[in-house]
Amino acid sequence: MFNHTLAKASDYNRGLPAPIRWAHVAWAAARPLIDTLLGWALLPRFRTWAPLILFTAAACWILAPRDPAMSASATAWFAAAGGDLRREIEALQQFGQGFSMLLLGAAIFLMDPERRRRLLDWAFAGGLLMLACTLLKGLTGRPRPRMGDPFGFIGPMGLYAIERAPGETRFISAWSGSSDLASMPSRHTAFAVLAAIFLSALYPRAAPLVWPLAVLVAAARVLTGAHYPTDVLAGAALGLLAGRHAIDRLWGVRLLDWIWKRWVDPTATPAAPALIRAG
């Protein structure tokens, strides 16, 4: 059947120029694979995340050759910016990170008792995101922009030579704990996007405030020379995936419900259904 399809495509419009005819043959050869991938991606189980992954992969592939130039331009502009502007950007890039997350969580806990339980979803999503970022940093092993090697991915098994002092070379891996090979993805961007998703889900009126902050964090990671543009794009995609699933579906609340019924009180009423009904 496959050979018949190729033969039919080759005979179709044989009078056309060869490049057009062979493009038609190539499309006929690729069509079964494309149909299979799209069918897989559009299944109910995958349609919420497969398009985002495909889009992010395509965008990273397109932007990757321009990573060094964009990073150099951004850091040069940031270095020339005023001291006050630099300090503000450096401070605001902590939105959604450790202490910021704890501070916002404490404010919600104290001021909005009805939504306290939803903090479990944020914490659960944060745990998933930390694990995903750590794994991907180790699997890619991409040097930071300060290393001047934007395409030096060493992968999970490689070693990277770093000259600490004249004549002193040290070999490190992506799992050594050094931040030198932790460029992709951007953890700051991922957690900023997660915070924006969580806060805008609980307080929709805050969306015009928190989403620009998440974008600012992504830009700041490039401006400060901590990441390449593709790193922040990958981090944003991870934040969206973790946030949309764990927060929208109340995974943290559901986990506590399961633990409580399993180990504490089998007759307890789960909290997740009531929170869903309450919106």
CB neighbour list of residue 5: distance below 8 Å, 6 or more residues apart: 28, 31
Q: What Å distances lie between residue 268 and 64, 80, 261, CA to CA?
A: 52, 60, 6
Residues 126-180: pLDDT tens digits?
Answer: 999 999 999 999 999 999 999 999 999 999 999 998 887 777 888 889 998 888 9
What local confidence, expressed as pLDDT, does residue 27 receive?
60
DSSP state of 235: H
What local confidence, expressed as pLDDT, does residue 25 receive?
61
- Is pTM beyond 0.85? Reply is no
Over residues 194-213, mean pLDDT: 95
What local confidence, expressed as pLDDT, does residue 51 receive?
75
Residue 5 has pLDDT above 60, yes or no: no
What local confidence, expressed as pLDDT, does residue 234 receive?
96
What local confidence, expressed as pLDDT, does residue 47 receive?
54
CA angle 49, 54, 55 (to 5 degrees): 100
What local confidence, expressed as pLDDT, does residue 6 receive?
43
- Higher model confidence: residue 137 or residue 32? 137
- Higher model confidence: residue 187 or residue 12? 187
Residue 44 has pLDDT above 90, yes or no: no
Task: Compute the distance between CA of residue 227 and CA of residue 230 in angstroms, rounded to an integer.
Answer: 8
Residue pair 145/182 in contact (Cβ under 8 Å)? The answer is no
What local confidence, expressed as pLDDT, does residue 233 receive?
96
Q: Which of 32-36, 42-46, 226-230, 253-257 has the lowest mean pLDDT?
A: 42-46
Neighbours of 233 (CB within 10 A): 21
Q: Percent of the chain beyond pLDDT 90?
A: 54
Q: What Å distances lie between residue 265 and 174, 253, 258, CA to CA?
A: 44, 16, 10
What local confidence, expressed as pLDDT, does residue 42 receive?
47
- Higher model confidence: residue 211 or residue 266? 211
Over residues 222-239, mean pLDDT: 96
Residue 244 has pLDDT above 80, yes or no: yes
What local confidence, expressed as pLDDT, does residue 270 receive?
87
Residue 9 has pLDDT above 60, yes or no: no
Residue 236 has pLDDT above 50, yes or no: yes
The CATH class of the 65-248 domain is mainly alpha
Residue 17 has pLDDT above 90, yes or no: no
Q: Which residues in the chain are classed under CATH 1.20.144?
A: 65-248
